[in-house]
A and B are shown apart, each in its own frame.
Chain A
Amino acid sequence: MTLLSVRDLTVKFATRDSSVTALNRISFDLAKGERLGIVGESGAGKSITGFSLMNLLSRPGFIDNGTILFQGDDIVKMSESQMRSIRGNQMAMIFQDPMVTLNPVLTIGQQMVETLRAHRKLSQKEAEQIAIVKLREVYIPSPEDRLGQYPHELSGGMRQRIVIAIALLLDPQLIIADEPTTALDVTIQADIMELLLELCQSNKVGLILITHDLGVVSQMTERTLVMYAGKIIEAGRTREIINDPQHPYTQGLINALPQQTQPGNPLKQIPGNMPSLAAIPNGCAFNPRCEYALDHCRTTAPEIVQYAHVEVACHEVSRLHSDKSEERSA
């Protein structure tokens, strides 16, 4: 059953004289309880995607076109008050910096109770009970005492767990996590990821995990979208994308990881930089950095099509594929 269905989502930013396209006809589906990763480099449009799904785009940004069906209703057309009853209730978001979500002048308890009582008819006592249960679920030691503490009294990892507990308070159908562990240490990141995975699996919650860490995506998600310059350039099952990437950019991204090269040898780098939104090249946005690019890559943008086990937006994917099989047989 589909929980979320995004079609041709286009987001623009109004600039001085015109506008730039931050998201260019993004389409994807998410089934109930499915875990989806969105990867890409900084500025690819990952966070903008997350914000659009919550209908939280701020001023210069706007949804230009497309539909976002959440449980069959179009979020793009919803009024702010309808949206508010969905946000936090059926859809929750976790940010990189927990202090974005947590209010520094309220105790953890006050914030959790407030959130609960805004959406449900509950007494203070009942709300506190639920809060304690949720805190226990995210492995916070002695949750009763934590209710009275302020966010700054807790460590970064603890704060992020509380943010997760708040996100889970109203048993949402979908959690959008935007780089939830980028600010944390690896040992704590591993804890938080394991926790998120466990909670999503046991509660059948859908997860959209936005990150630039391919390792995290590989361990957390079933499907993955790879974004480049505001477009989805590759989509498919995570395992297949990691083990056998089809798009030259995805290949470059995976090959650039230090693990893929013998120590001491130079890493396989992708030349150049990601274009800024105002200067996206014609044709395939990746063409100036791509070693396979031909003339048509510089003029026409490739559509995303099924290839091998995944969907890819690349004109030359078949050539690339034959190159690789030659390499393997050689």
Chain B
Amino acid sequence: MNDMNPAQPLLELKGLEKRFELDRGFLETIKFRSGKIVRERREVHAVNNISLNVERGEALCVVGESGCGKSTVARLIAGLLTPSGGEIHYEGERIDNRSRHAMMPLRKKMQMIFQNPYASLNPRMTIQQALEEPVRYHNPEMSKSDVLEKVATVMRSVGVDPSWAKRYPHEFSGGQRQRIAIARALTVDPEFIIADEPISALDVSIQAQVLNLMLEAKNQRGLTYLFITHDLSVVQHFGTRVAVLYLGSVCELADTATLFENPKHPYTKALLSAVPQLKDDHPNHIRLKGEIPTPINLPQGCPFESRCAYANDRCRVEQPRPLQQADGSIVACHAVEEDRLES
């Protein structure tokens, strides 16, 4: 029924939060502080109040520096972690509190591709076994020849040579393995793919092969992507929209073209200016000063405040809310809201 509603986003994150406990077990929480024994729990605030929509057919890119919570968001959506707060809705139905069995129908719709092609395939399974397993598991009634047929079709569609079938992953290069991992995800005919830095571990010439494959799959199968990366040139090429994450919060969300033409958040500006350009002799990147805050002691105000050139007293105490701008982008920054940024 929900499919009928065209305005319905495919995926909705509502105030998503994830905290990891640093001190596990009772004994670790006991600390000695200024002469007193106290019980103290430290937590990593990996994801803080993130609200996002993923529309059907788009490629939403998530960028941000290391440790800002990109993988955690991906793993929350894929159901590998349970959120500490907030909700995840898929086609209008809440999925974050479902049991493994209730998640089963969704497993065919939503798949994940991982960063490290050297670890994401089971080293003890041949390529054929790795590709057959999900087909069999999700279609127990399928005949053996149908399974083989299905696997062969997927292999052909992603350029996995059928003669690879009897070999083990260690016999392949990183790019070939990533191809196989993509093939495996596609065996269940998903409509939504979460890709966590799928090309970061690969060489430039191989990155292009894998990116092309993913674009092709998108066009042929009408896939929707949540694409995590830290490479902005890939975002510009691949993404329809971009979410910029900083310390577990979204600081800017915009169409790709808008973001690259007119970045608004001071962090986005700094990020874009820092990308080394091929043909530009005189880069003038915006130098960020100040301490990089840790997600253990979250700053009270804006997460970017300690490194921001436009920070004022309000930034230090009040968290900026994500606000819609004239060009449709959403920015969480007091300076933008107050129009204090000189452009």
Given A155-B292, A273-B206, A274-B203, A258:B211 Cβ within 8 A: yes
Interface string of A263-274 (1 = CB under 8 A from B): 110111111011
- Taking CB as reference atom, which chain B residue is nearest A252? B205
Give how many A-B residue pairs fall within 8 Å (CB-CB): 114
Task: Please name all residues of chain B whose beta carbon is closer than 8 Å to the beta carbon of A317 when the two chains form the complex.
Answer: none
Given A219-B277, A263-B256, A256:B237 Cβ within 8 A: no
B271 at the interface (CB under 8 A from A): yes
CB contact between A257 and one of B65, B233, B270 (< 8 Å): that residue:
B233
Stretch with Cβ within 8 A of A (4 or more), from B27-35, B80-88, B138-146, B279-287: B279-287
Q: Tell me the minimal C-beta distance from A187 to chain B in angstroms.
A: 5
Task: Please name all residues of chain B whose beta carbon is closer than 8 Å to the beta carbon of A239 when the two chains form the complex.
Answer: 281
Interface centre among A214, A216, A218 (most CB of B within 10 A): A218
Q: Tell me the minimal C-beta distance from B118 to chain A in angstroms.
A: 12
In residues 254-275 of chain B, which contact A (Cβ within 8 Å)? 256, 270-271, 273-275
Task: Please name all residues of chain A whose beta carbon is closer than 8 Å to the beta carbon of B278 when the two chains form the complex.
Answer: 214-215, 218, 242, 254, 257, 259
Q: Tell me the minimal C-beta distance from B234 to chain A in angstroms.
A: 5
Q: How far is the CA of A274 from the CA of B209 in the complex (A)?
A: 13
Task: Please name all residues of chain B whose beta carbon is closer than 8 Å to the beta carbon of A24 when the two chains form the complex.
Answer: none
Is the Cβ of A218 less than 8 Å from the Cβ of B276? yes
Is the Cβ of B65 less than 8 Å from the Cβ of A212? no
Interface string of A105-119 (1 = CB under 8 A from B): 000000000000000
Is the Cβ of A269 less than 8 Å from the Cβ of B212? yes
Q: Tell me the minimal C-beta distance from B262 to chain A in angstroms.
A: 16
Q: Tell me the minimal C-beta distance from A323 to chain B in angstroms.
A: 20
Provide the main secondary structure of the chain B interface: helix
CB contact between A212 and one of B176, B204, B280, B285 (< 8 Å): that residue:
B204
Given A258-B238, A268-B208, A213:B276 Cβ within 8 A: yes
Task: Please name all residues of chain A whose beta carbon is closer than 8 Å to the beta carbon of B238 when the two chains form the complex.
Answer: 258, 263
Given A270-B205, A274-B203, A215:B270 Cβ within 8 A: no
Q: How far is the CA of A32 from the CA of B331 in the complex (A)?
A: 48
Interface string of B225-258 (1 = CB under 8 A from A): 0000010111011100000000000000000100
Stretch with Cβ within 8 A of B (4 or more), from A56-64, A73-81, A190-198: A190-198
- Taking CB as reference atom, which chain B residue is nearest A193? B276
Chain A interface (Cβ < 8 Å from any Cβ of B)? 41-42, 155-157, 184-191, 193-194, 212-216, 218-219, 239, 242-243, 252-254, 256-259, 261, 263-264, 266-271, 273-274
Chain B interface (Cβ < 8 Å from any Cβ of A)? 65-66, 173, 175-176, 203-209, 211-212, 215-216, 230, 232-234, 236-238, 256, 270-271, 273-281, 283, 285, 287-288, 292
